[in-house]
Structure 1
């Protein structure tokens, strides 16, 4: 996954260059998707992405996924490639959101929706089409958005029973607030990021 203008600085201007993100497994294995080279974007390495999706492999087939700070959509596209039934992308930066649409069209993927807006504004209300099985949370570094994002996901019914929540943050951030019924299943550190996978318990 390539990081996101929404994640780093939603007002940062786009540079002239373009980059790419590679899908590493599934039906679109090896496909490269164009990514605008916006200031503050940082790519997640294939190594990290492969680890994360190895963790998620048992839960992906047929899953409904939310990529809440989508940017390039690297995590969401990887999920679709590996068998997710639906991905909801949320991206604030207009050019990045436009590129998401172009990449979905390039892949011929119709089982996805792009929300062009602020992530916390979206999460402030309940989802219109039901909860999600897997949520990717990778907010902009150094903007203090993580705790509010996790709290809103839990409070406003975005999580299906026994959902998986993937969290990626800057490496110096080692503690943050999660609801009591979330349990850390796996965690690792690689370079400038810490990343964890949480399982949530059903209220039933």
Structure 2
């Protein structure tokens, strides 16, 4: 039974313009895409904010959150991913879908964030669960290097509730499914 699940590790877009479209295969790649059930909840939370927003997808992996965002009429997305294979697969998927408002960069997210930036409307933080330090450093860099503005919304997916949250970020929504916690904050 496990072999069948691994063979059919398909990621679908669950809403908007590209609803039902299947992303590139992520078989044999050690990633953990955001589950459809979680994406449904998160994008229902983001419903009134997503249209015409400028988004940053840190640790984009398969690119599912990036494509889901433009599918729901985000103006643009910057996707950061350090894995060469995933970057190439995402770029190929964007070409197949004729999506031109997602910019994909092969870069380590912390290096990208450790420079003065321009603020984004929505930021997705979904780093590998095994590295809480990476999540906490990303949050500090977002604040320190000007990546958030006073109305930015930050989505965080994690398994450890003991994460660093700046005092000026306010919790909007929080939910847990299985071991996965996911939260929306605004500055």
TM-score over 0.5 for the pair: yes
> 1:41 is matched with which residue: 31, 34, 37?
31
Using CA pairs under 8 Å that are at least 6 residues apart, name the structure with larger relative contact order, 1 or 2: 1
Per-residue deviation at 1:45?
1.8
Q: Does 1:169 align with 2:128?
A: no
Q: How far does residue 39 in structure 1 lie from its aligned partner after superposition?
A: 4.4
- How far off is 1:17 after superposition? 6.3
Contiguous gaps of at least 5 residues in structure 2? 1-5
Corresponding residue for residue 75 of structure 1: 65
Give the counterpart of 2:139 among 145, 150, 158: 150
After the TM superposition, list the runs of 4 or more consecutive aligned residues in structure 1 that deviate by more than 6 angstroms. none
CA RMSD after TM alignment: 1.5
Mapping for residues 169-188 of structure 1, pairs under 5 Å: 169-170=158-159, 173-188=160-175
Question: Which of the two has greater strand per residue?
Answer: 1
Partner of residue 181, structure 2: 194
Residue 77 of structure 2 corresponds to residue 87 of structure 1 = yes
Give unpaired runs (5+ residues) of structure 1: 1-15
**In 2, distance between residues paired with 1:125 and 1:110?**
25
Instruction: Name the structure where helix makes up a greater proportion of residues.
Output: 2
CA drift at 1:18: 7.6
Instruction: Give the whole-Å Cα distance in 2 for the aligned partners of 1:72 and 1:140.
Output: 13
Instruction: Evaluate the alpha carbon distance shift between residue 160 and residue 35 of structure 1 in structure 2; reply closer, same or farther with a 3 A threshold.
Output: farther
Is the CA contact (8 Å cut-off) linking 1:18 and 1:34 kept in structure 2?
Answer: no
Q: Name the structure 2 match of 1:119.
A: 109
Alignment match of 1:140 (pick from 121, 128, 138): 128
Q: Structure 2 length normalisation: TM-score?
A: 0.92
Aligned residues: 181
CA contact (8 A) 1:168 1:195 kept: yes
Q: Quick one: distance in 1 between partners of 2:29 and 2:11?
A: 16
Alpha-carbon distance between aligned partners in 2 of 1:44 and 1:71, rounded to the nearest angstrom:
10
Q: TM-score, normalised by structure 1?
A: 0.85
Q: Structure 2 CA distance, aligned partners of 1:138 and 1:38?
A: 20
Q: Secondary structure at the match of 2:107?
A: coil
Report whether the alignment pairs 1:64 with 2:54.
yes
Q: Secondary structure at the match of 2:90?
A: helix
